[in-house]
Chains A and B, each alone.
Chain A
Amino acid sequence: MDEILRGGIPYGSTVLAAGTCGSGKTTLGMEFLVRGALAGEACAHFTATEPSVKLLENIRQYAFFDMNMIDSGLINVFDMDVLYSWLGLDKASFDLDDVHALIKAIVDIVNTIGVTRLVIDSVTTLCYKIKSEQLIRDFLFTLGKKLATLGCTTILISEITSATENAHWSSFGVEEAIADGIIVMGDVERMGHLLRFLQVVKMRGTAHSRAKHSIELTPLGVMLTPMLKWGAVSDKSTRWGA
């Protein structure tokens, strides 16, 4: 990833990692935190899609992950459901005050622990409770701005249903507008087989590659190689003829 980004994600950026189910978003996010923890950075992971116990159980299979990083407090995992309970936000939808309370809670945690790498998995699940598009935009913009001020580099994981050329890179259409960077993850279907890919669409402040890369989730982490040019589009597109 550092090579694709010509050095890495710029310090303090908010990056949207948008991907279809099973495309490797959570693994990428967790590896981002682990690499930070290995460099001695304090990291935080807010999980809204699955309980932290289940997340940690899944991530333990990877050799790059070490449970000591959790035990020593280098990586802090927070269940969003627990956070909602603390804040009295056990409700179906959030209003403006609720959104501000949520931002304050996340920023307070980041500030208190001194978090420099943060993953929110997923911003889609989190935003389901925010009914207005304007409020979602405000939430993400304010959160991103405050985290950047604190020097925190953030990956917002976004669930999308399609990663083809015409797809949106976010569920609500606003996440991509506030992000400094967009990484798209999905599958290319080749004769009935799904190949995972990753593509950096945007990363402010870098002269990054915009090529499609094939990825494998190995025990050592996410491995990438440029996708073959003659095989970089799904079967339904033009590669196999009109």
Chain B
Amino acid sequence: MFELDQRIAEQLTEVSLNSSVQVRCGNSNAFMVTASTMIPLMQMFEMGGVYICATRGAVEIIEAFEAIGVDVSSIQFIDLVSSGILGGTDVPYSNITFVDSPIMLESVLLRTLYTLRIIPTERNFVLIDSVNSLAIYNEERMLAEYLHTFINTFRQREILSVILNVPDQVPPTVLSNLDLYCTDLIDRGQVVIH
């Protein structure tokens, strides 16, 4: 039986549209934390949005939501993973678009902006899953700069940004900058023992 973390929903009630939320999770609870964040946004706040998949392909994520009985057909998925796999872009869902690689950060931003212009929902979020996956491909300074641009772009447009990360595996510069840029923190990360 899948159980949502209700404390996340409670915390989200305090969040405004021009906020940017850093969501920290661990390796083992990533989907539970993601679902516990997204479901209240969709169901309680009737938000639409864009899910940027850098960790797993969009199909896998949609199927994971379907497995717990959550319809995500109103959410648009930008898949940065599947183009790197031959045949990965032949998918049965119309709410998935593809960007060639997590390297193409500006393309991801532009594709997100484009998607937000064509979806019907008035209140929207953008979710990056995850900073860790982007960090595999992108140099630390560039990723920090990108997140700065990304968060400010959506904050200015009153679109809630949700940035998922596993903190003990994020480059320190990126993590400290995220602490600075984000207005809110949902911390379900692992305890870090240095």
Interface residues of A (CB under 8 A from B): 190-193, 195, 214-216, 218-220, 223-231
- Are B114's CB and A230's CB within 8 A? no
Tell me how far the C-beta of B16 lies from the nearest C-beta in chain A, rounded to whole angstroms: 24
**Interchain CB contact under 8 A, A230 and B100:** no
Contacts A216-B110, A230-B139 known; A190 to B145 CB distance under 8 Å? no
B109 at the interface (CB under 8 A from A): yes
CA distance A229 to B101 in the complex (A): 19
Partner of B106, one of A191, A192, A219, A225: A225
CA distance A226 to B109 in the complex (A): 10
Complex contact A191–B117 (CB within 8 A): no
Bound: A106/B27 CA distance, A = 65
Q: Are A226 and B149 in contact (CB under 8 A)?
A: yes
Q: What is the interface of chain B mostly: helix, strand, loop, or mixed?
A: helix
Say yes or no for B65: interface residue by CB 8 A criterion: no
B113 touches A (CB below 8 Å):
yes
CB distance from A199 to the nearest CB of B (A): 14
Question: What chain A residues lie within 8 Å of B118 (beta carbons)?
Answer: 220
Q: Is the CB of A191 within 8 A of B137?
A: yes
Answer whether A190 and B103 are a contact pair too, CB < 8 Å, given A220-B117, A228-B149, A229-B145: yes
Q: How far is the CA of A192 from the CA of B114 in the complex (A)?
A: 24
A225, B107: Cα distance in complex, Å:
9
Q: How big is chain B's contact interface, by range?
A: 20 to 34
Q: Is B146 part of the binding interface, using a Cβ–Cβ cutoff of 8 Å?
A: yes
B107, A214: Cβ atoms closer than 8 Å = yes
Q: CB of B119 within 8 A of chain A? A: no
Cβ < 8 Å to A, chain B residues 30-86: none
Please tell me if B17 contacts chain A, counting CB pairs below 8 Å: no
CA distance A227 to B117 in the complex (A): 21
Q: Across chains A and B, which 6 residue pairs bring their CB atoms closest together, nearest first? A: A214-B106, A230-B142, A216-B110, A218-B114, A223-B110, A230-B141
Known: A193-B100, A223-B114. A230 touches B145 (CB 8 A): yes
Q: Does B123 contact A (CB under 8 A)?
A: no
Contacts of A218 in B (CB 8 A): 110-111, 114
The answer, among B107, B113, B153, for a CB contact under 8 Å with A195, is B107
Question: How far apart are the CA atoms of A148 and B38 in the complex, in Å?
Answer: 55
Contact indicator B103/A216 (Cβ below 8 Å): no
Whether the Cβ atoms of B106 and A195 lie closer than 8 Å is yes
The listed residue with most A CB atoms (<10 A of its CB), out of B110, B111, B139, B153, is B110
Bound together, the chains give a CA A80 to CA B103 distance in angstroms of 40
Chain B residues lying within 8 Å of A192, measured Cβ to Cβ, are: 103
Contact B114 A231 (CB under 8 A): no
User: Is B9 located at the chain interface by the 8 A CB criterion?
Assistant: no
Instruction: Identify which of B103, B110, B139, B145 contacts A225 (C-beta below 8 A).
Output: B110
Give A218's nearest chain B residue, CB to CB: B114
Smallest Cβ distance from A23 to chain B, in angstroms?
14
Question: Are A231 and B117 touching (Cβ within 8 A)?
Answer: no
- CA of A192 to CA of B142, assembled, Å: 17
Chain A residue at minimal CB-CB distance from B142 = A230
* In the complex, residue of chain B having the shortest beta-carbon distance to the beta carbon of A226: B149
